[in-house]
């Protein structure tokens, strides 16, 4: 179960991680900047609040499905073209949403938005796996996760401001413009990182940037590149049947016991967080009489907690991995089946899981009692911190377990977390209206507590399940 990666300079690694992180920003930004504008969209398109909530649900469903389609291509044909294809689709969808005049066009174009932008997170995880060793991967995942954590941080604040003072359509005009700039930058300088295409030193010629293409043309012209035709690899043809099966291919990872446990840990935590974020506009406007821009600013607490948690956990994951290496002996760029990698990655997750459960229940009763807004936002910060610590640990471990299929296994995680999040989005408001806000979040905390069984099993039996998988493959 060797873990190989493309060996690049530190500066080049950092540049690639930065580009991947920015690309991962757009999907969560599109999801979260939408929340404060839901009231305006409801009025502008003459629809009900339940119909607007449906547009959030369909976005999340397509956010779940689309990475499974693209990640299979990214793991076989390379990262770079998929970045460019998917973000181009996202740009067109943003322009369409900004121009749409009917509810059904809004639904359709939101699906297309998710189909484009959400895939970049899975592909980005694959990119990080391509260029990092297990010993440094946790830290780089921390930096990479800043991109999708900035979306929930600044998305609602920007969305609330634009919706209140300029109109909700400007959210998508700005999204399209910002993504276009980054798309051009990616097209110019993001290199291909898939090891099977570019080799262990990254010098292989595949999916070239304009400068790489020009250098190759100059070599041909100068006679320095011999017999190019012999070096060309036969193109991989993809049948229509294979294309239809792509959305389901990544789900094969869920049949593994350890992967399923990790999916449950991540997805239930994600669903609990989404239940809180999607219900925030409904609750805060009624309980605290906030305007759209104030509702948007209220998301800053959770987003800031996520960023602090990502930075903290990145350092802790690297430190824990190094301690594990010291205990078992030197291991260089290799993930042996004898490594207690599950314990190293998840050792602190118990503490954060318990804190998260308590915070969610406490949050519901603080809202019931109409506690001061500062207290409620403080709980948001702590929840964002603890949740992100759990997310980073699980995501890093998933890539550790399948380093050569990292985009696909991340897409599997994306399917589960988005479907769980869509279910939470659909049910949270009716549940609040039925049993009250205090009991709703107590119920969510109780469901989350049951899901912690998966965390216990993964720490205790994950290594055994991993060894069984390795033995089956031999």
pLDDT digits (tens, 9 = 90+) for 173-226: 999 999 999 999 999 988 888 877 777 666 667 778 888 788 888 777 766 554
Q: What is the pLDDT of residue 5?
A: 63
Q: Taking the CA atoms of 266, 36, 56 and 90 in sequence, report the sign of the dihedral they define.
A: negative
What's the pLDDT at 167? 87
Inside any domain, residue 110: yes
Any idea which residue has 């997805």 for tokens? 267
> Domain limits at 369?
10-196+207-221+249-473
Picking from 432, 450, 111, 52, the residue whose alpha carbon sits closest to that of residue 276 is 432
Q: What does pLDDT average to over the chain?
A: 81
How many C-beta neighbours within 10 Å does residue 170 have?
Answer: 17
In a domain, 231, yes or no: no
Instruction: Identify the pLDDT of residue 286.
Output: 87
In a domain, 1, yes or no: no
In a domain, 23, yes or no: yes
* pLDDT band at residue 444 using 50, 70 and 90 as cut-offs: very high
Distances (CA, A) of 81 to 19, 209, 234, 240, 381: 14, 10, 18, 20, 37
**Is 233 within a domain?**
no
Q: What is the pLDDT of residue 380?
A: 93
pLDDT at 249: 61
Residue 232 belongs to some domain of the structure: no
Specify the higher pLDDT residue, 23 or 230: 23
pLDDT at 222: 66
Question: Using one digit for the tens of pLDDT, what is the confidence trace for 252-298?
Answer: 778 888 889 999 999 999 999 989 988 888 899 888 988 877 887 88
In the predicted model, is pLDDT for residue 357 greater than 90?
Answer: yes
Secondary structure percentages of the chain, helix, strand, coil, to 5: 80, 0, 20
The conformation of residue 199, written as its DSSP 8-state character, comes to -
Lowest-confidence region among 12-16, 114-118, 333-337, 366-370: 333-337
Measure the CA–CA gap between 29 and 49, rounded to whole angstroms: 21
Residue 474 clears pLDDT 70, i.e. is over it: no
Among residues of the chain, what percentage have pLDDT more than 90?
24
What is the rounded distance in angstroms from the CA atom of residue 284 to the CA atom of residue 299?
11
Structural domain includes residue 241 = no
Kindly tell me if the per-residue pLDDT of 96 is higher than 50: yes
pLDDT for 136 equals: 77
287 assigned to some structural domain: yes
pLDDT at 224: 53
Q: Tokens 């959305």 sit at which residue?
A: 247
Q: How confident is the model at residue 3 (pLDDT cuts 50, 70, 90)?
A: very low
Q: Is the pLDDT assigned to residue 317 strictly greater than 60?
A: yes
The residues, ordered by sequence, that sit 6+ positions from 105 with a Cβ below 8 Å of its Cβ are 96
Binned at pLDDT 50, 70 and 90, residue 446 comes out as very high
CATH of the domain at 460: 1.20.1250.20
Residue 238 has what pLDDT? 52
Residue-level pLDDT at 202: 62
More confident call, 151 vs 250: 151
CA distance 370 to 365: 8
Query: Looking at residue 353, what is its pLDDT?
Result: 92
Q: What is the mean pLDDT of residues 159-180?
A: 89
- The total number of structural domains in the chain stands at 1
State the average pLDDT over residues 461-465: 85
């Amino acid at each position: 179960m060797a873990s190989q990666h493309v060996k690049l300079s530190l500066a080049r690694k950092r540049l690639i991680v930065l580009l991947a992180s920015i690309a991962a920003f757009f999907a969560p930004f599109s999801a979260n900047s939408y929340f404060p504008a839901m009231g305006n969209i409801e009025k502008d398109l003459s629809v009900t609040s339940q119909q607007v909530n449906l547009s959030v649900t369909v976005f999340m469903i397509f956010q779940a499905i689309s990475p499974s389609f693209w990640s299979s291509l990214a793991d076989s044909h390379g990262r770079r073209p998929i970045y460019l294809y998917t973000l181009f689709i996202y740009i067109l969808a943003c322009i369409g949403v900004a121009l749409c005049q009917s509810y059904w066009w809004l639904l359709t174009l939101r699906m297309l938005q998710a189909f484009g932008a959400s895939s970049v997170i899975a592909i980005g995880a694959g990119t990080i796996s391509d260029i990092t060793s297990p010993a440094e991967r946790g830290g780089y995942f921390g930096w990479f996760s800043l991109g999708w954590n900035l979306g929930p941080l600044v998305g609602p604040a920007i969305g609330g401001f634009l919706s209140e003072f300029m109109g909700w359509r400007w959210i998508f005009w700005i999204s399209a413009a910002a993504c276009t700039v980054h798309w051009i930058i990616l097209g110019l300088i993001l290199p291909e990182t898939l090891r099977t295409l570019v080799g262990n030193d990254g010098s292989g010629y595949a999916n070239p940037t304009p400068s790489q293409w020009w250098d190759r043309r100059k070599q041909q012209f100068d006679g320095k590149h011999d017999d190019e035709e012999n070096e060309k690899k036969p193109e991989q043809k993809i049948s229509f049947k294979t294309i239809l099966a792509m959305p389901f291919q990544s789900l094969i990872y869920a049949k593994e016991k350890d992967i399923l446990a990790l999916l449950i840990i991540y997805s239930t935590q994600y669903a609990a967080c989404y239940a809180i974020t999607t219900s925030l506009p409904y609750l805060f406007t009624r309980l605290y009489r906030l305007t759209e821009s104030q509702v948007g600013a209220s998301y800053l607490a959770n987003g800031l907690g996520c960023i602090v948690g990502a930075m903290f956990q990145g350092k802790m994951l690297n430190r824990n991995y190094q301690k594990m290496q010291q205990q078992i002996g030197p291991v260089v760029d290799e993930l042996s089946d004898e490594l207690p990698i599950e314990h190293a990655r998840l050792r602190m997750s118990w503490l954060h899981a318990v804190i998260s459960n308590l915070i969610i229940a406490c949050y519901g009763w603080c809202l019931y009692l109409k506690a001061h807004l500062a207290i409620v936002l403080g709980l948001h910060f702590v929840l964002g911190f603890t949740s992100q610590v759990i997310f980073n640990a699980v995501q890093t471990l998933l890539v550790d377990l399948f380093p050569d299929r990292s985009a696909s296994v991340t897409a599997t995680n994306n399917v589960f977390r988005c479907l769980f999040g869509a279910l939470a989005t659909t049910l949270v408001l009716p549940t609040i209206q039925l049993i009250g806000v205090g009991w709703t979040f107590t119920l969510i905390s109780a469901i989350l507590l049951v899901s912690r069984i998966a965390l216990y099993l993964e720490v205790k039996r994950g290594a055994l399940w991993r060894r069984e998988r390795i033995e089956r493959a031999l």
